[in-house]
Amino acid sequence: MADPTTQSAQISSDMNASSTKESTYYVMELVYWRDPKKSAVAFGMSLLVLLSLATFSVISVVSYLLLALLCVTITFRVYKSVIQAVQKSEEGHPFKALMEKDLTVQPEIFRKYVDVCLTYVNRAIKQARHLLLVEDLVDSLKLAGFMWLMTYVGAVFNGITILILTDIIFFSTPLVYEKNKTQIDKYIELIRTRVEVTLAKLQDKLPGAVKRTKAE
């Protein structure tokens, strides 16, 4: 008979994998514009928030968003109340269905997403140790080169500008890639081959570099 602890861990792992697949599928549906309306709303809202943060403070942006939401809900509530008074109907609160809906976060769902986040955190910690403690000299040098390039990027763009560009790339690149997959794959493979050859030559010249096998 299987150990209950092992069974529980397996069930938790399966739930995490299922949740990750569902989240990935939903994100892919958005970035590939399978449903143009949903993708347009997600892109527009995210870009609007980032542009607002670039102009105003976080407190101002949050305050304006909540104020706009309150203006809509209060106006709609007053409008429905007037209509009900004129028509002498007893429909009740216009947001009654939403108010009666259970919005509490279930402990199982909370723990599921915490477990998913914990998996990524542990993976990031292991990768940081691998890079910062120079387990592989070539990987650490690549990180150093990337960080050096980021110093120049940081001198030209601030964090919000980078997030805005990332948001635009995130919603545009997958669609462009899907339409020009053959040509892009050809150039990516060419670049990847040249990079691998260059890194192999560099690794042979570096003392103490970890030799990589083909399987890696």
Q: Which pLDDT belongs to residue 132?
A: 93
For 40-65, what is each residue's pLDDT tens digit? 999 999 998 899 888 888 899 899 99
For residue 118, pLDDT beyond 90? yes
> DSSP labels for 113-160?
HHHHHHHHHHHHHHHHHHHHTTSSHHHHHHHHHHHHHHHHHHHH--HH
The pLDDT of residue 19:
58
The SS3 of residue 177 is: helix
Q: What number of helices (H) and strands (E) belong to the chain? A: 8, 0
pLDDT higher than 50, residue 216: no
pLDDT, tens digit (0-9, with 9 covering 90-100), for 26-43: 888 888 888 889 889 999
Question: What average pLDDT does the segment 2-22 reach?
Answer: 56
Asked if pLDDT for residue 9 goes beyond 80, the answer is no
pTM exceeds 0.85 for this model: no
Q: What are phi and psi of 207, to 5 degrees?
A: -75, 135
CA quadruple 105, 108, 113, 116: dihedral, nearest 10: 180
Sequence-distant (6+) residues with CB within 8 A of 203 are 137, 138, 209, 211, 212
Residue 74 has a pLDDT of 94
* 183 pLDDT tier (thresholds 50, 70, 90): confident
Structure tokens at 152: 């120049």
Domain ranges of the chain: 15-86+111-205
Quick one: pLDDT band at residue 213, thresholds 50, 70, 90? very low
